[in-house]
């Protein structure tokens, strides 16, 4: 039983009381991320996320910021995406006031100290280097680059090392002033508390939030008329790849069908691709298919890592399953299994206070509409066999295919040939 309140200044506050826990989570989500950046400051949304923990007037040093919740066993962190930046803290419910004071302080009063900025540049550059050394993760950056090219949606969230190195103190103040506002921010409290009391506390701690009109992001432009391939050369024992298609955004009525299709293909261990690529042919240790939707883009993508000599075979097996669904090879039993899996995963994922906070806040921030878990389940249950066939025929088309890979292959013609002769 969540409750949402919109304050006069535009700030949205959501309370989600959970009597079965002794904890409380506070999550702040702001509608700003790498999609809001220009090329000159690419990476600044993520950099600001780091700097938020580097000191305020009340807690001047990094150590004072971190020790405030450390001393009560609290957990805290932050994250940046293409369309949002989030800050959260989780504590024993009796420390709600401390957590609110702490998280509102770092969110509203960060100093952006020049020395700390220069020091943190090294940290972020090492984070970028680490991701470059993790092909299972970095291949998703290549996937975005392939789909969206030279526009914010195609740029890395962490930025490039060159752009990060050039950022200055003034950039942080200007960017945060333009993008951090009550009008594009949601604060959620989930856990063991009385909603009315928690709401009044949240109002008090966030009363000084900026109320300016935030800058908007550019609309993503999608252009594709034939299969596309992007190879990143690296001497690896495996080739890691993302193979998939453009799909539906958060507002499309068939995004739930897209999610069910992803589950049928590469969800649980009994999904089609796990059985085909791993169990029957022994080609991969990991393989899964994801459905991803944002406010203006969407995709369905299969992610796997295989021996370099087996890439062609793995791609052909995946494309065979795409084609199978496109041709309607599915029955009621398989559809129901995928639905039940998604519903079960939804309820299991919502057991913690931080998961509850994320569930409600993400919806409110990105769609301005909140569905309860029960309403989400109804959306999943409405997917029919006919929906599966129609969506599969719409998205699994040759001209929508994309392949991003990391491995020792230097030529992309072989991969292109496989895509062009499929579906």
Query: Which positions are catalytic?
Result: 49
Tokens of 370: 């909140």
CA distance 151 to 219: 10
Q: Exposed, middle or buried by CB within 10 Å (0-12, 13-18, 19+), for 306?
A: buried
Question: Does residue 16 sit in helix, strand or coil?
Answer: strand
Question: What's the CA dihedral at 366, 369, 374, 376 to 10 degrees?
Answer: -50
Partnered with residue 199 across adjacent β-strands are none
CA distance 195 to 3: 8
Query: Around Cβ 171, how many Cβ atoms within 10 Å?
Result: 17
CA neighbor of 96 nearest in space, from 188, 28, 182, 189: 189
Q: How far is CA 166 from the centre of its chain?
A: 26
54: left (phi over 0), alpha (psi -120 to 50) or beta: alpha
Nearest 5°: the CA angle 157, 255, 351 is 75
CA distance 275 to 217: 41
Tokens of 186: 């949601």
CA distance 92 to 74: 7
CA distance 314 to 320: 10
Q: How far is CA 360 from the centre of its chain?
A: 15
DSSP assignment of 346-393 equals HHHHTSSHHHHHHHHHHHHHHHS----HHHHHHHHHT--HHHHHHHHH
Length, in residues, of the chain: 423
CA neighbor of 87 nearest in space, from 72, 67, 108, 71: 108
């Amino acid at each position: 039983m969540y409750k949402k309140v919109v304050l006069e200044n535009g700030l949205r506050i959501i309370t989600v009381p959970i009597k079965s826990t002794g904890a409380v989570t506070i999550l702040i989500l702001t509608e700003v991320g790498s999609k809001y950046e220009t090329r000159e400051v690419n990476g600044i949304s993520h950099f600001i996320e780091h700097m938020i923990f580097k000191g305020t007037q009340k807690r001047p040093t990094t150590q004072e910021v971190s020790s405030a919740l450390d001393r009560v066993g609290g957990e805290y962190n932050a994250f940046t995406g293409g369309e949002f930046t989030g800050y959260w803290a989780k504590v024993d419910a009796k420390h709600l006031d401390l957590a609110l004071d702490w998280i509102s302080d770092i969110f509203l009063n960060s100093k952006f100290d020049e020395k700390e900025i220069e020091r943190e540049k090294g940290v972020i550059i090492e984070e970028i280097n680490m991701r470059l050394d993790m092909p299972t993760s970095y291949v998703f950056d290549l996937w975005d680059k392939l789909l969206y090219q030279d526009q914010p949606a195609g740029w890395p969230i962490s930025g490039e090392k060159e752009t990060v190195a050039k950022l200055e103190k003034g950039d942080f103040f200007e960017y945060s002033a333009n993008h951090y506002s009550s009008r594009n921010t949601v604060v959620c409290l989930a856990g063991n508390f009385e909603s009315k009391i928690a709401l009044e506390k949240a109002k008090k701690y966030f009363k000084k939030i900026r109320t300016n009109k935030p800058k908007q992001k550019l609309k993503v432009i999608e252009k594709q008329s034939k299969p596309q391939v992007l190879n990143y050369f690296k001497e690896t024992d495996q080739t890691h790849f993302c193979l998939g298609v453009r799909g539906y955004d958060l507002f499309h009525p068939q995004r739930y069908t897209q999610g069910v299709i992803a589950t049928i293909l590469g969800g649980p261990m009994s999904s089609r691709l796990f059985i085909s690529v791993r169990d029957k042919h022994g080609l991969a240790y990991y393989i899964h298919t994801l459905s991803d939707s944002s406010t203006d883009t969407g995709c369905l993508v299969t992610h796997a890592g295989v021996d370099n000599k087996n890439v062609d075979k793995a791609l052909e097996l995946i494309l065979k399953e795409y084609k199978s669904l496109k041709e309607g090879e599915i029955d009621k039993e398989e559809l129901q299994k995928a639905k039940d899996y998604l519903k079960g995963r939804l309820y299991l994922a919502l057991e913690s206070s931080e998961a509850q906070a994320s569930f409600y806040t993400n919806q409110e921030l990105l769609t301005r509409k909140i569905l309860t878990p029960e309403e989400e389940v109804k959306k999943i249950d409405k997917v029919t066999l006919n929906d599966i066939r129609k969506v599969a025929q719409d998205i699994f088309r040759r001209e929508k295919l994309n392949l991003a890979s990391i491995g020792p292959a230097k030529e992309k013609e072989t991969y292109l040939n496989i895509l062009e002769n499929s579906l």
